[in-house]
Amino acid sequence: MPLTIQQQEALTVPLYKDYRSLVPPLSEDLHKGQGGRIGILGGSSDYTGAPYFSAMAALRLGADLAHVICDEDAATAIKSYSPDIIVHPYIKIRATSDADEKKAHAMWMQTFDDIGSLLKRIHVLVIGPGLSRDKGMLQSARHAIEKAKEMDIPIVIDADGLFLIQNEPELIQGYKKAILTPNLVEFERLCKARDIDAGDKHAEETAVQRLSRGLGGVIIVQKGSIDLMSNGEKVHAATNDGGLKRSGGQGDVLTGIIATSLAWGVGYQKGIWKHSSEVKEDDIAMTACFGACLINRQCSQLAFKKHGRAMQASDVLEQIGPFFEMFYERATPRADWAAAIYG
């Protein structure tokens, strides 16, 4: 729904130079992995494309490594899409269904151990692309979320991962390193789960702000004609034009771009490369999410201009590298967002 004038006046935009500061330099001083290691849990037997789009978007933006944790029946397909993705067929839905209770329990314990071991090697965990609503897949996602929280890892949750949160909001309640990326329908369901009226025309604050606060300050990225994001206090809006074709997979592309941007934020915070520390710690995640939304929208627009109605998510992937190079390299550090995008 349209924002009220009061709500529009409360919107803010982080500085372009702050997002630019989060981007690690291409330097001989950095080694493999320091540019971002992303883990994606998803990929069921029916949905193999979504984790591919998230992983490739993360890599195209500039992450060094992308791991996909998936059902073993999905692994071969995902591996065949690209040799650049590291695929881990840890989840064994069919095998555990066919096994007796004792053997199935042992297999699940091994799955959980494997997931926990992999989480030690990544900067950001993505939950949801191609996850499905299979009980075993959701059980794996639940376990991964709990382990990531123990290890203080940022978590990006999308697609059927949001279905899990809708029904079990306590999984991420108050975990401020969680980022939820709902579309219109998913957003309304999350609001309903928290007794928030998403269509309240008289509310002083935006629904995205109220939902974030209702979940204890997790960041909500509400995808739509404009992308709104909030940590319960600030509200940013990415308003640049996107493409007009709503092909499947574009949301998965966004999760990958957000994941890499957050991974860069982790490196920035840890001082992996030399920088002036201008971006405050509390602003890093919101700045990363804003920049990711803006980049995704612009790449979608470029793909739509080239392909029109034929545009697919794979076409958006092709635009990420060329656009980001121009976006980052052409603009001076002190440029504003418009100058960075349009020159």
Binding-site residues for (6S)-NADPHX, in ranges, read 130, 183-189, 252
As beta bridge partners, residue 38 has: 66, 124
How far apart are alpha carbons 183 and 169 in whole angstroms? Answer: 17
- Residue 17: Cβ-neighbour burial (10 angstroms; 0-12, 13-18, 19+): middle
Assigned token pair, 113: 């151990």
Contacts 24+ apart (CB under 8 A), 90-93: 90/114, 90/115, 90/118, 90/140, 91/136, 91/137, 91/140, 93/44, 93/45, 93/134, 93/136, 93/137
| Amino acid letter, 92 | K
C-alpha–C-alpha distance, residues 340 and 31, integer Å: 28
Give the residue numbers of the binding site: 130, 183-189, 223-227, 242-252
Sign of CA dihedral 179, 180, 184, 190: negative
Q: Which residues are annotated as a binding site for ATP?
A: 223-227, 242-251
- Which residue in the block uniquely carries the two structure tokens 């883990």? 39
